[in-house]
Amino acid sequence: MELEVRHLRALCAIADTGSLHKAARRLGVSQPSLTTQLRRIENSLGAELFWRERSGCRPTPVGRALLTRARPLVAEMTALVVEAKAAAAGSGGSRLRIGSTASRALPGWLGRLRRRLPGADISLHMDVSANALLRMVAAGQRDVAFVHEVEGSPLRVPEGLAVRVLIEREPQFVSLARGHPAATAPVVELADLAGDRWIVDPTVDGEWDGLRRVLAAAGLNPSVLHGDYHTAAALVAAGEAVAPCQPTSRPREDMAVRPLRGDPLAVRLLLCSPPGTEEVHQEVYEDLAAAYREVASEAAAYRQWLLRHKSPLLTGAAA
């Protein structure tokens, strides 16, 4: 069996997501099919490329060495295909390829960009891994990336990327079942969640490490569940767990969103692009800032937090 680009792309997806299930979902294949493909690749090379652990997949030393060579090859092939398609279509219009981690500002941001750049080819690639998106920008696969950096867990920003700070410190709130005793207070004490299970997505860069540090500093050692956003929302609503969440999150009939006392959890919001493109993407940054202000003002709990802290965000001042 000879290694093909699709095999390298599969290996990169497994490494980026840390999970066969999430990698299969990203690649649009079934998990059994991806598992079989990985086994064939490993048999062909005569080496194990990933350690399968309860928390997910982790590259072995051989796997890391292979990924180091595979990533630029995959990036070059992707860029080649994109450029070939553009040439075949005779596309002379403008293009903006956006990468982003999850954010409620995205719909408003895209809407503003489409109004500002009518006729432009605007595409969006979502990923739970901020580091994966930054690598895509560095490889020329994305023009900009809107990412969050968990406090205390710096991102691995490729050398030369231009980084603009949208929000220096965005507090992370907590989502909990509407009937949770702590939901009756406008601000939640960490100690009031001492008996709860927490759920986090381990594939989100820095999220589990950041939460673990905060809980340890508060003297808490709760049970922790790992799951994606949709799983977390279902378990929180059922009262089975609590979870950190973005302050722009909307409450539901069965779920409350509250700030934590002292704001121990926080992220930094960044817009990253290739070197020397800050002026080119100034309007992109301005539209993102406007979209973020809009969702921030619409989220009741976050708006109250901003008012209490006399934040300039609601007036449109710089972050």
Residue 99 has pLDDT above 80, yes or no: yes
Residue 91: what pLDDT?
46
Q: Give the count of beta carbons closer than 10 Å to the beta carbon of residue 89.
A: 10
How far apart are alpha carbons 79 and 70 in whole angstroms?
A: 14
- Per-residue confidence at 54, pLDDT binned at 50, 70, 90? confident
How far apart are alpha carbons 236 and 75 in whole angstroms?
A: 38
Burial pattern 35-73, b for ≥16 Cβ within 10 A else e, equals: bebbeebbeeeeeebbeeeeebbebeeebeebbeebbee
Residue 275: what pLDDT?
85
Residue 55: what pLDDT?
80
Nearest to 23 by CA among 45, 44, 49: 49
CA angle 202, 208, 209 (to 5 degrees): 130
In terms of pLDDT, which residue wins out, 300 or 319? 300
Residue 240 has pLDDT above 60, yes or no: yes
Per-residue pLDDT tens for 126-155? 998 999 999 999 999 999 999 999 999 999
- The answer to whether 231 and 155 have CB atoms below 8 angstroms apart is no
Q: What is the mean pLDDT of residues 63-91?
A: 71
Residue 163: what pLDDT?
94
Per-residue pLDDT tens for 176-192? 999 999 999 999 999 99
Locus of tokens 């450029």:
83
Average pLDDT, the chain: 89
Locus of tokens 């652990």:
53
